[in-house]
Structure 1
Amino acid sequence: MRLSTGFVRASGYAYKVRRVLFALTRKKVEPREVVRAAGELNQRIFERLQELGVEKSDVIRITVPFRIEDGTIVWDYNGMNIEVYRKSEEENLARAMEEIEEREKALEEQIKELEELALQLRDTSEKILEKLEELKQEHTSLKLRAEE
């Protein structure tokens, strides 16, 4: 398997790594293991970014192969690749990243709104089912009284 962050500001790589890893390993490993493995990888990435002299505003893309052994995520650090696009050299990419960040934020807000709506629909559905049960019980008791 391979984790790939896509383009992300250096200041936000840790969150992105954790989020992508959770998505890739859903129902394959325990959430506690995802948190542990993401922390381990993020430390290694941080050290490498320092070596490369990466600024927080630079844009990076990280790919790292990994495998799952007995419920544990094992990183292939030899295969880790970090692409760096320096803001000072890549103004167009920086502007594109700002647009991507705005779109991601809007998407997250829409997802949250839909989740709330889904919860409201579930509550409404449960209330409808309760009313149906009440009607069935009333109908049954009316039927029994009529038969007496």
Structure 2
Amino acid sequence: MDIVSYTIEKKDLEYIESILEKFIMATYVDLVLIGDEGGRVVSFLSSDVKDEREASRFAVVCAGVLGALDQLNHIIHEKNTFFTEGINKSIYIRISQYNFFIASIFDKKVPLGSVKLFTEKALKELDPIFNQIRNRKKDNFKISFDMLEF
């Protein structure tokens, strides 16, 4: 069972979005998305994906790929990254040490090296926030059957 074990405050989200804005301006990717290991979208920016449901589907697929990649790491010894190249578009995913990930979809004209470089730069800026988010004191919330309506 997947349970959300963190809280993102408004100031955190604003900071994350500012990093994504800088990232998309520097790389010209079609989409950049921050998600978590459960496939939930934290934030995304896109030049062509306007529908949050499409971004959510992408986040879920990325989380699944990263889960499978975790198992493959024992064979290929490549940690925390995934890249696939299509005919016209490519996908690059990088997971942070705090189990959030940055995923990008970009045109074949965009150099992979620049996507990797700016992904690493973004993660260096985001990891302290991800650490705070993961370690923030969580309020315990108890649900009783009396609270539920049927």
Please, what TM-score do these two structures have when normalized by structure 1? 0.30
Please, what TM-score do these two structures have when normalized by structure 2? 0.30
Counting helix residues as a fraction of each chain, which structure ranks higher?
1
The structure, 1 or 2, with the larger RCO (C-alpha pairs under 8 Å, 6+ apart) is: 2
